[in-house]
Structure 1
Amino acid sequence: MTVPAHLALALPALVASYLIGSVPAAAWVARARGVDIRKVGSGNSGATNVLRSLGKGPALGVALFDILKGALAVGLAHLLGLGPVWAAVCGVAAVLGHNFSPFLNWRGGKGVATSFGTIAALDPVVGAVVFAVGASCMWLTRYVSAGSILGALTGAAVSVALGRPWWLVVVVAGLSTLLTWQHRDNITRLHAGTERRLGEPKSSKPKV
C-alpha cells in the first residue's frame, strides 16, 4: 500500500521536531560548567533554573535556544510544504520533546520558552500578546511561574477573540493547558505564599 505523500513527509517531520525539542540545552550548558541542572534549584532543565544556578548569561542563551526549538519545528514543516496544521503539530512535538526528553530520562523543562517559540512562529500577533502579558506580569510580580501561566492563558483567549482558525485555537489552548499542568507545584506554592521570586535567595523567608 502506498503511503500518502503528505504523511511520508509529516511523520519524519514530527520525529525530527520532537528530537529538536528534546535537545536539553539547559542541562548541557550546566554540565559544561560542572553542574547537574537536575540536582540544583527546581531540578528543571529550563532557563529559569539556569538563571538561578548559573546566572544571566547562560540563562539568556538557553532561553533563546529553547524559543528557537519551537520556531525551528514550525519552520521545518513549512519548508517541507506540509501546511499550517502540520506546522502546528510539529511545534507541539517540539514542546513535548523539551518537556519529556529522552536525553534526560524523559524529564525536562516546563515548556515555557519552546511553547512561546511555537506560538510566535505560528501567529506573531498572538505571540506578541503572550510575550507582552507574560513579561509584564514577571516584571511586576517577579514571579516567573505566574507570568508564564498568565501569558499562556492570555494567548489562548486572544486566539479565540481574534477569530483564529480552529486548529490554532486548539494548539494554543493545548499548550497553555500543558504549561499550566507543568506548573502545578508552582501554583500550590503561589497559593501558599511560598513561591520564590526572581532575585530572591533560596533561604529567604517572608517578612512578618
Structure 2
Amino acid sequence: MRMLTYTRTTGFRHDSIAAGVAALRNLARHNDFEVVDTEDPAAFTGPELASFGVVTFLSTSGAVLDDDGRDALEAFVRNGGGFVGIHGATTTEYDWPYFGTLVGARFDGHPEVQPGRILVEDADHPSTEHLPSTWERTDEWYDFRANPRPGVHVLLTADETSYTGGKMGADHPLAWCHTGCGGPSFYTALGHTEESFTEPLMLAHLLGGIRYAAAG
C-alpha cells in the first residue's frame, strides 16, 4: 500500500508537521507500506492518486487545493480510496462542502495545550483496540463548530472535566470514522505537539486509523 501524505498550509502552520511526517515514514517502514509526502497540489490528479491507497492530510490548513485537485480527491474517495485526517486537517478547505463532510467536522477553537483525559467509545476499532479505556495525555483539545456525531462513528471523546476551556460539553468527539463519502475516512484531532509523534499509544492510534482507511 502507498500513502500520500499532504502537509500544505496556507493558514496556521504546526511546528509538529516535520515530526509527524517522520513518524508516518517510520510506521511505514515497519508495517509494509510506503509514504510519499508532499506540499505540491499538483500531486492531486486522477492518474497520480490512482497509485495510492490512502491520502492523509497532516495538519493542513486553509485552501490547499485548486478546483482540479478537489475534483481528483473527491473522485479518489468516491471510488473507494481511503482518507486520513490528522489534527489540523479540520482547519482546511472551509469553503468546500464535500471536504467538510469527508473530514467530518470544522475546527472552531481550542484552549491552551494542557493535560486531559480521553475516553474510548469504541474499543474494537483498529485505531483504539490497543488503548486503555481512559487515556490521559497532553495535547491541544480542539472544539468543533458542530458535533460530528450525526454523520460519523465516534471512536474517542474528550472528558472536558479533566481540563479547562472546553466548549462542547459532555459529548465532545475527538476521533471518528465513516464511509459516507465512498471510501473509509478516519480523523483524529490529536497530534498538536511534536512529542505526540513519539508516543507509542499515539503512534498505534495513527497506524490503526491508516489500516482502517487502507481497507477500502
Bigger helix share: 1
- Do they fold alike, i.e. is TM over 0.5? no
Larger radius of gyration: 1
Q: 1 or 2 for the larger relative contact order (CA 8 Å, sep ≥6)?
A: 2
Q: TM-score normalised to the size of structure 1?
A: 0.28
Structure 2 length-normalised TM = 0.27
